[in-house]
C-alpha cells in the first residue's frame, strides 16, 4: 500500500505517484518542498515477530520517520511501540529527536500527557514504548466531523492546557502543538498530548540543541507556529505553545487552519504580518467569548497572550461558564497583563498535585 503524506504547510494529504528516492517530495497543492527520509519497501523491524522483547500485534500508524505498532510488552501490557525506520535510524538528526522525545516524556507523568514506559535500541533500531491510545487524534476527528462543536473542543483544549501547565513546571516547551499531536482514549473523553520530538527545556543551550532547534523551524507545522518560532525557534517559550494551542482550537471549531497559502513561504509571511480571519466569520453561531478567547491566545505579540498555562486555564474555566462574555478577552488583548503571583503559585501547586496523583495511580 502506498504511503500517504500530509503537507505541513497547507495540510493537504496526498499519495505521491512515485516513492521518494532522494528524501524530498513536493506537495501537489501548494508546491511546498517536504523533507522525508528515503524508506525501503519494508520498514525496519516490520517483519520481526518481536522487537526488543515486545510482541508485535499490528501496525497502527506510520509517519515519515517511524512506524507505530500495537504490541504486548514483556510484562503483558498492551502498548504502542514506536520504531524509527531504517533510513531515519542512520540520520543523526532524526536519532537525536527520537531520543529527546523519550528523555523529555519520561520527566512528566500527567493524566493528559501520553506516558512513555520504555525506550532503547536493538541492533541499530531505536524504539519507544508508550501508552496505547486507541481513540485516534484530534486531526482524525476534524477530518471526520469537519468541525468540532465548541463545547467539546473547549473541554479538550482545557485538558491540553493542563498538560502544558505540567510541562511548564519542568521548564519544557513542546513547540509542536497541533491536532495530530493530541490523542484520545477509546471513549474520546480524555485528550492527551504526545510527540515531544521538537521539545526543549529552558536550560538546554548546547550547540546540538541549537542545531536541532533550527532544523525544527523548517520541519515544523507553519500553520500552527507563532511568529517568534517562525523567526527563531530558540526563543519559543510557554507563550509559544499557548499560541499553537489557540491555532489548534481555531482549526477544531472552524474546520479551517488559521493561515493557508499557496506555499510555505506565504504561510510564514502571513503568520508574521496578517491577522487571522476571526473564527466567527467562519462560524457565525460561535459564542463571542470563544471567538475572543481564540484571538487572545493567537496574539502576535507574546506579551498580549496568556503568559502562563495557569492563566490560560483560569480563563478557559471561566469561558465554559460564560461563553458569550467577550469583554474580558477584549480587555486582555488591548494591553499586556501581568499574572498575579498568587495565581502562579496556586497553579504550580495544582500542577504538582496532579503529577503526584498520577504517580500514585501508576504505582497501583
Annotated catalytic residues are: 176
Give the whole-angstrom CA distance, residue 311 versus residue 161. Answer: 10
Would you state the cell numbers that stand for residue 336, as one nine-digit string?
499586556
Q: Which residues pair with 113 in a beta bridge?
A: 193
Nearest CA-CA partner of 320 in 287, 298, 281, 343: 287
Q: Give the list of residues 6+ apart from residue 217 with CB closer than 8 angstroms, or none.
A: 229, 230, 232, 233
Residue 146 φ/ψ, nearest 5 degrees? 75, -50
Give the whole-angstrom CA distance, residue 323 versus residue 253. Answer: 14
For residue 214, give the H/E element and its range: helix 207-219
Nearest CA-CA partner of 45 in 83, 3, 19, 91: 83
Give the whole-angstrom CA distance, residue 325 versus residue 340. Answer: 22
Nearest CA-CA partner of 249 in 307, 188, 292: 292
Burial class of residue 227, CB neighbours in 10 A (0-12, 13-18, 19+): middle
Would you state the cell numbers that stand for residue 134, as one nine-digit string?
486507541
Give the whole-angstrom CA distance, residue 259 versus residue 256. Answer: 8
Amino acid at each position: 500500500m502506498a504511503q500517504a503524506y500530509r503537507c505541513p504547510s497547507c495540510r493537504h494529504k496526498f499519495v505521491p505517484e512515485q516513492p521518494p528516492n532522494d528524501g524530498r517530495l513536493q506537495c501537489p497543492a501548494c508546491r511546498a518542498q517536504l523533507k522525508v527520509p528515503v524508506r525501503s519497501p519494508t520498514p525496519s523491524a516490520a517483519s520481526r515477530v518481536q522487537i526488543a522483547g515486545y510482541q508485535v500485534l499490528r501496525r497502527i500508524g506510520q509517519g515519515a520517520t517511524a512506524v507505530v505498532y500495537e504490541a504486548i510488552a514483556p510484562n503483558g501490557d498492551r502498548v504502542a511501540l514506536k520504531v524509527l525506520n531504517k533510513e531515519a535510524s542512520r540520520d543523526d538528526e532524526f536519532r537525536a529527536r527520537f531520543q529527546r522525545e523519550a528523555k523529555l516524556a519520561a520527566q512528566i507523568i500527567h493524566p493528559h500527557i501520553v506516558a512513555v514506559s520504555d525506550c532503547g535500541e536493538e541492533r541499530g533500531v531505536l524504539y519507544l514504548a508508550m501508552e496505547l491510545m486507541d481513540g485516534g487524534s484530534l486531526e482524525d476527528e476534524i477530518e471526520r466531523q469537519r468541525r468540532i462543536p465548541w463545547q467539546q473542543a473547549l473541554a479538550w483544549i482545557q485538558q491540553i492546557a493542563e498538560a502544558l501547565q505540567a510541562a511548564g513546571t519542568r521548564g519544557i516547551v513542546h513547540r509542536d502543538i497541533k491536532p495530530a499531536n493530541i490523542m484520545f482514549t477509546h471513549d474520546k473523553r480524555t485528550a492527551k498530548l504526545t510527540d515531544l520530538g521538537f521539545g526543549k527545556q529552558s536550560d538546554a543551550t548546547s550547540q546540538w540543541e541549537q542545531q536541532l532547534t533550527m532544523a525544527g523551524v523548517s520541519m515544523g507545522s507553519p500553520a500552527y507556529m507563532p511568529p517568534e518560532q517562525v523567526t527563531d525557534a530558540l526563543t519559543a517559550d510557554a507563550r509559544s505553545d499557548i499560541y499553537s494551542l489557540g491555532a489548534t482550537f481555531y482549526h477544531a471549531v472552524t474546520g479551517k487552519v488559521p493561515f493557508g497559502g499557496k506555499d510555505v513561504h506565504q504561510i510564514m509571511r502571513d503568520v508574521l504580518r496578517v491577522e487571522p480571519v476571526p473564527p466567527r466569520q467562519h462560524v457565525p453561531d460561535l459564542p463571542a467569548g470563544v471567538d475572543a478567547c481564540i484571538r487572545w491566545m493567537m496574539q502576535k505579540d507574546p506579551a498580549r497572550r496568556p503568559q502562563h498555562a495557569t492563566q490560560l486555564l483560569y480563563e478557559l474555566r471561566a469561558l465554559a461558564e460564560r461563553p458569550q462574555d467577550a469583554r474580558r478577552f477584549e480587555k486582555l488583548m488591548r494591553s499586556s497583563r501581568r499574572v498575579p503571583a498568587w495565581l502562579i503559585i496556586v497553579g504550580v501547586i495544582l500542577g504538582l498535585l496532579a503529577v503526584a496523583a498520577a504517580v500514585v495511580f501508576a504505582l497501583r
